Structure 1
Amino acid sequence: MREKPDEKWREVTVADIKAYIGFQIVMGVIIAPRLDDYFSTDEMFGICGIKHRINRDRFDKINQYFHAADTSMNPHRGDAGHDKIAHVRPVLEKVRTSLSSAYRPHRESAIDEAMVAYTGRLSIKQYVPMKPTKRGIKVWVRADPHNGFINDFQVYLGKENNTGEYGLGERVVLDLTRDILNRGHHIYMDNFFTSVKLFEKLEENDTYTCGTVRAQRQGVPPQIRNANIKNQGESVIMQKRNMVALTWKDKRPVNLLSTNTDPRRQTTVLRRQKDGSRIDVPCPEVVKNYTKFMNGVDRADQLRALYSCGRKASKWWKYLFWFLVDISIVCGYILMKESPDHQRKSRNGRQKQLSMVDYRKSLAKQLIGIYMVRNKRKAMKENTSYADGSNCWVADMGKKRRCEHCKPRGIRREPRFGCEACGVNLCVECFKPYHLERFPDRYTR
């Protein structure tokens, strides 16, 4: 049976979608307990200016019918070729390829898992008890430990036919590093991924690795597996060509495998004792390097959690979509910070850093722009002269943009001034002809 069309629905434009995403970014910066609070007219508890740009009905309809992909051609569940994340696949691939090509990574990279929080029913939902976010969608991530930039990622789609994938960790690492093989990069990972076979395969491709390793993994020397170290700071090291296996006693034994560190290099770490004193404990350099460079994904998660624009939704794929938006914003912020063309200075000539919240505010303003969908009755009550041009005056628009009268004539001018009522930038000499064309009945009487 064909459903009756929604009488309140109106077609959306590119400006509608850009403004909708901009409003979501604003909601991440200014957090309200309920969505209704963003449209409240209460003078005391009015949250922000969203209600002045869009009415609640229009926002609800865009939110209700918002989709990121056409899934009509996706095969049914259980059929060959079915894509479990077809709802966001086009956006996901666009974000992934853009991040891979937009930034040249440092020599060191870290591979770990990130979690997109979700507690509803979903076949790809995972439970990871050791993570702060224990239930949700698991995403394998390769990130830059120097700044948290996400170089590549892959959504874990769970088991196929209730059968686990053999060699999952090895396959994930090879997938995420395919763009940087044979370039001398150093990859850091935890014991879920680390194996002797994987490290040998990466070394053959001029890619060097370091990671904690489970003592029972195939290929780990029995001297490491059965080591009995009693004193803090002691270690047992075994080497096979360029591969080093070691166990080091901190508060508990730590097992590592490495192909990028000289085992003879030793350093120290500061440790607090039971009596409150601090001492320097001998430590192999590989342990210190692992601690230093394994935090890339955690650093990216910290930046992503700042002012996240995701909100509670009834559809699981929206959580993944807003995850993609958040990592795009984070990586854009990192690119801006490192770009020599976007450095800001104070009046004293000192370098001035733009914070994440300032970046998100600026981005939201650019996406929303002059977008405005207001209640028709309220707009007519406030000002009935906007429609006939009687309230058009020269005003400072706050930013240089192309002149709306020169643009269709192929002339590029970017004045700062324009007409506030019409919401356009205009040259001084274009102000009159523009309004003569737009309101011929009023100005030709």
Structure 2
Amino acid sequence: MCRNIFEPSLCFDLFITEDIVGEIVKWTNVEISRKRPPVNTHATCRDTCSIEVRTYFGILTLTAAMKDNHLTATDLFDSTFSGSRYLAVMSRERFNFLTRCLRMDDKTLRPALRQEDPFIPVRKIWEMFIQQCKCNYTPGNYLTVDEQLVGFLGCPFRMYIPNKPNKYGIKIPMMCDNGTKYMVNALPYIGRATDTGGLPQGEYYLKELSRPIHGTNRNVTCDNWFTSVSLAKALLAEPYKLTIVGTLRSNKREIPQEMKNTRRRPVGTSMFAYDVPLTLVSYKPKSAKMVFLLS
């Protein structure tokens, strides 16, 4: 179906579907009714519709494309500063009001559900969107599992990672196609509320993210937060049938002592260990550093 679509707006509709927009319109109007003054006929506070919500998304998308997403709403809707491209769509007051009222769930159910799932305010819309990402694309033979920190401060499970561009935000492990960078699947990291079923977190996320490609003999590349010897062996068997290439942390007890760093070992050398289907490479790029790669 997707191969026959070339219009950008139709491609966008494959991911932000009518069901997604309808759900947002429904709960946004509930919030608008709460925030609307008792006696008010001003157009700024009227109910929204699917066309206006798509228009709102269009403004947000355009701000990203034009590198305007760091500007305030006052600057965006100032014709002398940003031209008329945003002002021609809606007023600044209406944009701000929609931003305050935008909702994706039934707000009254949050207190009961949030203890089990802190991501509940956007969980339903998120799963609908991810489902479209899975069904609209057939990935290649090689995929990568890694994490992205999306800058955001308004949630209890935000993380602080100092070496990321946005130091505070939501950590989202995701699986992407190596060739096209397309995101096939993603799961938000919600901290201690994550039910891993007794598995280490890295192993749990990799197995969950790779569900769309289980049984396909594809290869997954990942970093040392995900990689372990037990995971590599498990992925070879049913129902996964996947291969893995990933760096391994130096404190793993499966690494032979002979492959670890010593002063006598020259810089730039590699050592290999084989265990039936597994291969471990030990590489010394610097005098005080070792890199372990498991495949």
Using the size of structure 2 for normalisation, the TM-score is 0.76
The aligned counterpart of 2:253 is 218
Bigger Rg, which one:
1
What does residue 359 of structure 1 align with? none
Percent of residue pairs identical: 24
Q: Deviations over 1:201-242 (max 9, x none)?
A: 001132111111012213222322356563233111110101
By how many angstroms is 1:99 displaced?
A: 0.8
Which residue is equivalent to 1:56? 92
Structure with the larger RCO, 1 or 2 (CA within 8 Å, 6+ apart)? 1
Distance 1:237 1:228, change over 3 A: farther
Structure 1 residues 84 and 103, CA, compared in 2 at 3 Å: closer, same or farther?
same
In the alignment, structure 1 residue 94 sits paired with structure 2 residue 128: yes
Counterpart CA distance in 1 for 2:264 and 2:272 is 12
Q: Secondary structure at the match of 1:73?
A: helix
Measured against aligned partners, the alpha-carbon deviations of 1:99-144 in whole angstroms (never above 9, x if no partner) come to 1111111111111110111245x32111223333322110011111
Cα distance change on mapping 1:158 and 1:229 into 2, 3 Å = farther
1:34 aligned partner: 72
- 1:108 maps to what in 2? 142
Matched with 1:137 is 170
| 1:126 pairs with one of 159, 177, 199 | 159
CA distance in 2, matches of 1:23, 1:116: 20
Does the 8 Å CA contact 2:73/2:96 hold for their aligned counterparts?
Answer: no
Three-state SS of the structure 2 residue aligned to 1:26 is helix
Match of 1:196 in 2: 229
**CA 1:3–1:97 in structure 2 vs 1: closer, same or farther (change >3 Å)?**
closer
Q: What per-residue deviation string (whole Å, max 9, x for no partner) do you get for residues 240-263 of structure 1? A: 1010112012233211111xxxxx
Count matched residues: 251
Partner of 2:146: helix, strand, or coil? Answer: strand
The one-letter amino acid of 2:291's match is: V
Within 5 A, what are the aligned runs for 1:254-333?
Answer: 254-258=291-295
Give the alignment of 1:42-441 within 5 angstroms.
Answer: 42=80, 45-76=81-112, 79=115, 82-119=116-153, 122-160=155-193, 167-205=200-238, 206-225=241-260, 230-251=265-286, 252-258=289-295
How far is 1:85 from its partner? 1.4
TM-score with structure 1 setting the length: 0.52
**In structure 1, C-alpha distance between the alignment counterparts of 2:278 and 2:262, rounded to whole Å:** 18
* Partner amino acid, structure 2, of 1:140: P
Q: Could you tell me whether the CA contact under 8 Å between 2:140 and 2:179 is conserved in 1?
A: yes
* Structure 2 unmatched runs, 5+: 1-32
> Would the alpha carbon gap of residues 41 and 180 (structure 1) be closer, same or farther in structure 2, given more than 3 Å must change?
closer
> Equivalents in 2 of 1:77, 1:158: separation in Å?
16
